[in-house]
Amino acid sequence: RLMGMQVATAFRVLIGPEVARLCDEVELRAGTLLVTTSSPALAHQLRLDSETIVARLNQSDLGRKVRTLRVRIGRATPI
Contact between 35 and 25 under an 8 Å Cβ cutoff? The reply is: yes
Task: Kindly report the CATH number that applies to the domain delimited by 2-73.
Answer: 3.30.300
> Taking the model in full, what pTM does it have?
0.85
Burial of 10 (0-12, 13-18, 19+ CB in 10 A): buried
User: Can you give the pLDDT at residue 70?
Assistant: 98
Q: How far apart are CA 34 and CA 27, in angstroms?
A: 5
Q: Which residues pair with 69 in a beta bridge?
A: 33
User: Can you give the pLDDT at residue 79?
Assistant: 53
Q: What is the pLDDT along the chain (79 residues), one digit of tens a residue?
A: 677 889 999 999 999 999 999 999 999 999 999 999 999 999 999 999 999 999 999 987 766 689 999 999 997 666 5
Q: Give Cα 16 distance to the centre of its chain.
A: 12
Q: How far apart are CA 74 and CA 26, in angstroms?
A: 12
User: Can you give the pLDDT at residue 3?
Assistant: 78
